[in-house]
């Protein structure tokens, strides 16, 4: 089975800090995604990447950037963390030409204080 | 972008009752996917429907794709406490081969014993 691993389950950061969330997948998938999930708002796409060094903005990219230097790793960067970025962050990967759904990581619960 | 509307947002049922969640789009969908997220967990891919009028079953779960490929439903017969969670539908971005999905906001199912 595909495994998507997020580096931290829980994180607490201070306002203004630069925060890195890491995601690694082990099945050579082309596509990787970062979502945030907030109660009542569902899954909102922040950024996605369809190849190494390639990225596309999702619906809420403001305040975030991403990096994909290697196919298996997709990093989400909060340039200057703010309290309204307190959320659950979910990474997912997908084989673009495959028949099947996304595989999600277990999520990182980020609290910005 | 593609939008999928999902209703209801919440559903509370007694164990043994049936449950249905609906997903609707104003445009024709190439396919639709369903995910389940247990409380405290991450979304897990359940199934993908591709053909017009398609019906698929997974034990007590029945998934349908409408004839016009603009709507879909997930029906659970005789709910159990293990069915608790949030169910999401998701559809791909029209006209794009990049593999991005648009998620509905989900239906949160609570089952009373």
Q: Token pair of B81, please?
A: 């406490």
Chain B touched by A103 (CB under 8 Å): yes
Distance from C-alpha of A57 to C-alpha of A49, rounded to nearest angstrom: 9
Q: What are the tens digits of pLDDT across the range A45-89?
A: 999 999 999 999 999 999 999 999 999 999 999 999 999 999 999
3-state SS, residue B39: coil
pLDDT band with cut points at 50, 70 and 90 for residue A15: very high
Distance from C-alpha of B105 to C-alpha of A35, rounded to nearest angstrom: 13
Q: Token pair of B46, please?
A: 């359940």
Q: Token pair of B33, please?
A: 């996917």
Q: Tell me the pairing of strands A73-78 and A64-70.
A: antiparallel
User: Is CATH 3.40.50.2300 correct for A4-112?
Assistant: no
Task: Give the nearest partner residue to A56 out of B41, B98, B106, using CB atoms.
Answer: B98
Check whether A25 has a pLDDT greater than 70: yes
* Nearest to A39, CA basis, from B6, B106, B7, B111: B106
pLDDT for residue A27: 86
Q: Do A107 and B42 touch (CB under 8 A)?
A: yes
Distance from C-alpha of B83 to C-alpha of B38, rounded to nearest angstrom: 8
Residues of chain A positioned with their CB less than 8 A from the CB of B33? 101
Residues of chain B positioned with their CB less than 8 A from the CB of A2? none
Q: Do A101 and B104 touch (CB under 8 A)?
A: no
Q: Do A101 and B41 touch (CB under 8 A)?
A: no
Residue ranges and CATH numbers for the domains of chain B are: 5-112 (2.60.40.10)
Whether the CB-CB separation of B1 and B101 falls below 8 Å is answered with no
């Amino acid at each position: 089975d595909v495994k998507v691993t997020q580096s931290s389950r829980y994180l607490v950061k201070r306002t203004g800090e630069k925060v890195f969330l890491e995601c690694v997948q082990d099945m050579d998938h082309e596509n990787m995604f970062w979502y945030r999930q907030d109660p009542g708002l569902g899954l909102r796409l922040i950024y996605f990447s369809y190849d190494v060094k390639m990225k596309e903005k999702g619906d809420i990219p403001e305040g975030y950037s991403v990096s994909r230097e290697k196919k298996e790793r997709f990093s989400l960067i909060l340039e200057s963390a703010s309290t309204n970025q307190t959320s659950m962050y979910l990474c997912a990967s997908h084989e673009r030409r495959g028949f099947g759904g996304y595989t999600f990581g277990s999520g990182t619960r980020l609290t910005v204080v | 972008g593609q939008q999928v509307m999902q209703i209801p947002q919440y559903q509370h049922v007694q164990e043994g009752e049936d449950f249905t969640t609906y997903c609707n789009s104003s445009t024709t969908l190439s396919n639709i996917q369903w995910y389940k997220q247990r409380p405290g967990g991450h979304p897990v891919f359940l199934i993908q429907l591709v053909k017009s009028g398609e019906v698929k079953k997974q034990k007590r779960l029945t998934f349908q794709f409408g004839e016009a490929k603009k709507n879909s439903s997930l029906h659970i017969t005789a709910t159990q406490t293990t069915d608790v969670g949030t169910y999401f539908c998701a559809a791909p971005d029209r006209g794009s081969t990049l593999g991005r999905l648009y998620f509905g906001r989900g239906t949160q199912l609570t089952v009373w014993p």
